[in-house]
Amino acid sequence: QVQLVESGGGLVQAGGSLRLSCACSGRTFSSNAMAWFRQAPGKEREFVAAINWSGQATRYANSVKGRFTISRDNAKNTVSLQMNSLKPEDTAVYYCAADTKPYISIMKDAYATWGQGTQVTVSK
pLDDT digits (tens, 9 = 90+) for 34-60: 999 999 999 999 999 999 999 999 999
Give the distance from CA 114 to its chain's centroid.
10
**How many angstroms separate the CA atoms of 15 and 33, rounded?**
29
pLDDT given at position 17: 98
What average pLDDT does the segment 57-69 reach? 98
Least confident of 24-28, 33-37, 111-115: 24-28
Percent of the chain with pLDDT over 70: 100
Closest by alpha carbon to 69, among 54, 88, 55, 87? 55
Whether 91 has a pLDDT exceeding 90, the answer reads: yes
Mean pLDDT across the chain: 96
Residue 89: strand, helix, or coil: helix
Whether 1 has a pLDDT exceeding 80, the answer reads: no
Give the distance from CA 105 to its chain's centroid.
13
Closest by alpha carbon to 113, among 54, 21, 27? 27
Which of the 8 DSSP states describes residue 124? -
Strand (E) or helix (H) holding 83: strand 78-83
Least confident of 24-28, 32-36, 117-121: 24-28
In the chain, the amino acid numbered 55 is G
**How many angstroms separate the CA atoms of 105 and 23, rounded?**
20
Percent of the chain with pLDDT over 90: 94
